Amino acid sequence: MHRFEVWAPTPDTVRLDVDGSLHPMHRGESGWWSADVDASPDARYGFVLDDDTTVLPDPRSPRQPDGVHQPSQLHRLDESVWTDSSWTGRQLQGGVIYELHIGTFTAEGTFDAAIERLDHLVDLGVTFVEVMPVNGFNGTHNWGYDGVLWYTVHEPYGGPDGLQRLVDACHSRGLAVILDVVYNHLGPSGNYLERFGPYMAQGANSWGQAINYAEADSGVVRRYAIENALRWFDEFHIDGLRLDAVHAIVDHTAVHLLEELAVDTRRLAAHLRRPLSLIAESDLNDPSLVTARSGGGYGLDAQWDDDIHHAIHAAVSGERQGYYGDFGSLQGLANTLRQGFFHAGTYSSFRGRTHGRPVDTRRIPASSFVTYTTTHDQIGNRAIGDRPGFYLSPGQLAVKAALVLASPYTPMLFMGEEWGASTPFQFFTSHPEPELGKATAEGRKAEFAEHGWDKADIPDPQDPDTFTRSKLDWSELGTGDHARLLDAYRGLLALRREYADLTDPSLDHVRIDYDEDARWIVMYRGSLRVVCNLSENEVTVPVGGSTLLAWEVPISDETGSSTRIPGHSFAILSARR
């Protein structure tokens, strides 16, 4: 006998369909319906609302073997598969994150194929694998942010069992796992939640109708999101969650959804006896996200920091379009590396208003901010999905890597950047509905045409080749500049492991010198000096020391008080000989 339950306060009647047989359900308190029915462990089931005949999937479906429009399937993970009983987790502080997309990380695009590449990540020196969203969405491939069934795992990737195998394989290699989750919106196809109850709010965000976290009957909806998060931690042994675009979560209650999630996550971490991390993506430059609850904040562990990316990218590349407009100077880069945000209560020309709030560097560690040379957004949301290696030299890529990986922040890599992958990462979708696919493609072209791009150059996200082009080419690793850049990444990450100065999270310990005209910058990390030449010309920098790692061979003068650094190059020097 299996108990089926669903929250459905909107319909007057709810019937349960189990393998084609209909059963009445009993309405209990607060709109919850239940029925006890004999069912096989892998039975297909769904709910029929009122006089409709359509069998709708369970909002908390554990598996969708036939897609998000079809009935759900009962499913439990096989506990005998787990081999990680000795896994005690990883603290985010001191860690290195590697973001990947399951569908394009390998040619096969599955969890099992990704397992075959984990040894590369271990050898590289990363400690966290961050997987872009894998919850249920319509179609075969997608970035993952169009999910509509949060509790299930996309079948073409390998379904829930495949995710279990990937997490277990990561843990066996000492790698923690972060899962990207989306609690700010639902995708455009397969969202039946409104037919069950008031899951959606009156307003909207950039991607569609907002979710009801603060209006009438929002209590169950809040638990729908929070219990989903806790399920990844508990049942799937996930170590951390990356919370997509939390600035788009509309919640004006006294205890914000994020704070409530943080409280419940700490409680579960104590029970599981391993650290569980919450990392927010936010456009607000608001340090209260990572301020402890005792200090009036939400109590999250970290947040993505686009300002550091923008400051580094604009300074190295020279790009100034769009949101890069305020960035590019070495003064701005130095200030951002020292204080976490570029816009910290300052005017943003891109937004046309004052933006951000200063970071209290005495109380908030730099490790609470995740920084990167690039991300899926910073590549895929360019018109043609071009990686930095398409328009920067290998030396410039190495300089960006040095500034990120030798900074006091928590560094994150995007798959393939470590060898300067030649494949793009483009925006791709596979909406089965022709009208939705057409609207997505036309909207993409119109958006970039406004910024001067020729529509003919913008890839059609619905074209299968757009997806195929975005898959990594693993044959590049051992060739030419790819191999050389990979060696630089390995060397930088090895230094992070060897020298405590590089993982010191205190921003008060960071000192920076620079020359705006000569285009060099030095980041002092304890006894180490991270010297970067952003110019194409050789420069002489008034700092000396023994060379630990360099992109091009630096030359120190006889007194040891200055060093010549080749163009588009970096060197990490030690003051201790």
**Which residues are known to be catalytic?**
244, 281
Strands 200-205 and 410-414: unpaired
Alpha-carbon distances of 152 from 59, 157, 176, 190, rounded to whole Å: 9, 12, 21, 13
* Helix, strand, coil % in the chain, rounded to nearest 5: 35, 20, 45
Instruction: Report the DSSP beta bridge partners of residue 520.
Output: 515, 533
Q: Provide CB contacts within 8 A for 502, sequence distance 6+.
A: 406, 495, 496, 525, 528
Instruction: Provide φ and ψ at 359, rounded to 5°.
Output: -90, 130
Q: What H or E segment, with its residue span, contains residue 512?
A: strand 510-515
Instruction: Tally Cβ neighbours within 10 Å of residue 51.
Output: 8
Beta strand spans in 366-465 (E): 369-372, 410-414
Dig out the tokens for 440 from the structure. 């997505």
> Distance from first CA to last CA of the chain, Å, rounded?
73
Dig out the tokens for 309 from the structure. 């990316």
Instruction: Provide φ and ψ at 225, rounded to 5°.
Output: -75, -50
Three-state DSSP state, 434: helix
Q: Return the C-alpha torsion angle 454, 455, 461, 466, nearest 10.
A: -50
Distance CA 179, CA 186 (A): 17
Instruction: Provide φ and ψ at 190, rounded to 5°.
Output: 100, 10
Q: What H or E segment, with its residue span, contains residue 204?
A: strand 200-205
> Is the Cα dihedral 549, 550, 554, 560 positive or negative?
negative
Rg (CA), the chain: 25
Dig out the tokens for 352 from the structure. 């046309």
